[in-house]
């Protein structure tokens, strides 16, 4: 089978996805996934499904169509250098597992913050925690929208996103703290549902947003890394 690849990295991605996808077609969905890693000394690595789906075991909406959980960590050319600050915060290749575990962990993290604390800003002119969480929610929607646009094959470039305009218009400090936390949960569930149902080839489709190229794969890691970044900021500077 000829693989539609433009680079060695993309060839490795396609080979790994092909093994995953063919295992689904052959009716061995209950067997461990065997993923081919195209490295200097290639080998088959077995990843148990029970372990990879542990974080999602209590989520009733988790019913994947393709179960493409293991994706290669994005290469530098899959997003603009700016986004490495987010991508590099996410270790490993189990991006769906990371997105799912973040949902549970962040619900607990935000739930421990009181209404009064949520209106705290660590310095004059800085965002409050409510504004930070609202920003995370809005950015996740934007990144997910880009992933949808590219994964579905649209070629038109997408515009930039000004976070300050968005925060000023949102009025997050007037929103209820419980409502913002619920909104985070709903947005993240939508994100997980989208990525878990992507076909194998859709992960490596590309597009342009804010004059920068992205792969769909990179956008999944950016979503997770962006949340990780802002959770770190809240923990270090606000609490």
Among 56, 210, 233, CA closest to 133: 233
What's the pLDDT score for residue 71? Answer: 72
Which residues lie closer than 8 Å to 56 by C-beta, 6 or more apart?
62, 96, 97, 100, 192
User: Contact 106/184 with Cβ under 8 angstroms?
Assistant: yes
Annotated domain spans of the chain: 75-238
Superfamily name with CATH number, domain 75-238: dinb family like domain (1.20.120.450)
User: Contact 188/99 with Cβ under 8 angstroms?
Assistant: yes
Residue 234, Cα to own-chain centre: how many angstroms? Answer: 20
Q: What is the pLDDT of residues 6-56, one digit of tens each?
A: 444 444 444 444 444 443 334 333 333 333 233 333 323 333 344 434 444
What's the predicted TM-score (pTM) here?
0.73
Pairwise CA distance, residues 101 & 220, whole Å? 14
Q: What is the pLDDT of residues 104-124, one digit of tens each?
A: 999 999 999 999 999 999 999
Among 115, 147, 149, CA closest to 133: 115
- Comparing 160 with 1, the larger pLDDT belongs to 160
User: Contact 86/220 with Cβ under 8 angstroms?
Assistant: no
Pairwise CA distance, residues 208 & 156, whole Å? 8
């Amino acid at each position: 089978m000829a693989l539609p690849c433009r680079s060695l990295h993309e060839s490795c991605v396609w080979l790994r996805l092909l093994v995953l996808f063919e295992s689904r077609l052959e009716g061995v969905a209950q067997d461990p996934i065997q993923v081919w890693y195209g490295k200097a000394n290639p080998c088959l690595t077995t990843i148990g499904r029970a372990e990879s789906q542990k974080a999602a075991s209590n989520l009733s909406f988790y019913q994947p169509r393709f179960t493409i959980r293991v994706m290669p960590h994005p290469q530098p050319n899959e997003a603009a250098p700016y986004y490495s600050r987010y991508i590099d915060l996410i270790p490993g290749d189990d991006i769906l597992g990371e997105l799912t575990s973040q949902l549970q962990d962040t619900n607990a993290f935000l739930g421990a913050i009181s209404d009064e604390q949520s209106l705290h800003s660590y310095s004059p002119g800085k965002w409050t925690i409510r504004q930070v969480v609202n920003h995370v929610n809005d950015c996740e929607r934007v990144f997910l929208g880009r992933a949808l646009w590219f994964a579905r094959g649209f070629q038109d470039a997408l515009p930039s996103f000004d976070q300050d305009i968005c925060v000023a218009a949102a009025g997050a400090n007037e929103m209820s703290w419980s409502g913002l936390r619920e909104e985070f949960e709903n947005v993240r569930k939508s994100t997980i549902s989208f990525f878990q149902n992507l076909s194998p080839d859709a992960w490596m489709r590309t597009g342009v947003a804010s004059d920068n190229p992205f792969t769909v794969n990179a956008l999944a890691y950016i979503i997770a890394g962006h949340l990780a970044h802002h959770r770190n900021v809240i923990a270090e500077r606000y609490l």
